[in-house]
Amino acid sequence: MDTEAAVLGLESSCDETAAAVLRADGTILAEAVLSQEKEHSPYGGVVPEIAARAHLEHLPRLVAQVMEKAGLEFSQLAGIAATSGPGLIGGLIVGSTLGKGIALAHGLPFVAVNHLEAHALTATLPGVVETPVRFPYLLLLLSGGHCQCVAVEGVGRYRRLGTTLDDAVGEAFDKAAKLLGLPWPGGPALERLAKAGNPARIPLPRPLLGRPGCDFSWSGLKTAVAHAVARCPGGAPSDQDKADIAAAFQAAVAAVLADRAKHALAMLPEATAMVVAGGVAANQAVRGALSAAAAKRGLPLVAPPIRLCTDNAVMVAWAGVERLRLGLTDELGHAPRPRWPLEGLAA
């Protein structure tokens, strides 16, 4: 694939509407992300129908915007890549259908991108991370919908080492934040509040810490937060109580993630790096704990820039580039999938 060739990427799997144009050498020609936070915040979480309608309204405009900024016509592209799963089915249908329409109209190859693979491959994107990593590496995928340790052995080659037994870690952040009366999305708000707290004042459990393997469990920690709130006088925590509970929760999460990562690295001794991706990767306490765990093994912690931790189209376009480079394309009849495990890509 010519390094000057460009791919249009579309992302619409949840509540970010995004488009990007990326050259095959990794140069970002244009990118745009539209957050739907205002639309969903009154409901305390993502409403699938609202998300799908917002994608339908805004994605065509974002596509026109990035194409104009990139200075390209559709016919000059090497291909179209659109997130086709996993995610909310309404949004997936909007993005993949638009991508297929552009591909059909201009005779371009279409790539149905697995959203998790897009996160996984961000660490190999030149110019985005200081030193792109080599396969194989350990991926910690930490978001509102996913919490996994994955051995990344190559494009389309993934081996899940561990996963959550109940909730995703991002979901745990949001629910703990809600218990503290914080606005949605809860993760960033809880991190800000934790800076004013004492993590040692209120003891919270560290689920599965030290246990064999690298699975996760967050439901017990969320319950412990609820009990900590209820134990405050009148069940109404003061501002300092809230900050201390937030700090204790964040410290517990960081400690558990570092412990699980250590176990995962022992299961993948050939790993060249530890990579963290997903919205929770933006949390600085989590990054610090994982960096220390990686350093103990003499490995770097590789994390995308904050703007590329959350859902975006740059990573989708890059996954498209990597797949097109290997001659991997999809039929226009490819159906979006709300569930699409990484391990299924090997087939």
Is position 85 annotated in a ligand binding site? no
Q: Cβ–Cβ contacts within 10 Å for residue 341, how many?
A: 15
Is position 144 annotated in a ligand binding site? yes
Is position 153 annotated in a ligand binding site? no
DSSP secondary structure string, 158-180?
EEEEEEBSS--HHHHHHHHHHHT
Is position 49 annotated in a ligand binding site? no
CA 86 – CA 330 distance, rounded (Å) = 16
CB 282 within 8 A of CB 152: no
Is position 283 annotated in a ligand binding site? yes
Is position 114 annotated in a ligand binding site? no
Is position 25 annotated in a ligand binding site? no
CA 172 – CA 142 distance, rounded (Å) = 11
Specify burial of residue 134 (Cβ count, 10 A radius: 0-12, 13-18, 19+): exposed
Is position 342 annotated in a ligand binding site? no
DSSP secondary structure string, 234-291?
GG---HHHHHHHHHHHHHHHHHHHHHHHHHHHHH-TT-S-EEEESGGGG-HHHHHHHH
CA 136 – CA 115 distance, rounded (Å) = 19
Is position 263 annotated in a ligand binding site? no
Is position 174 annotated in a ligand binding site? yes
User: Binding site membership for Fe cation: which residues?
Assistant: 115, 119, 311
User: Binding site membership for substrate: which residues?
Assistant: 141-145, 174, 187, 191, 283
User: Binding site membership: which residues?
Assistant: 115, 119, 141-145, 174, 187, 191, 283, 311
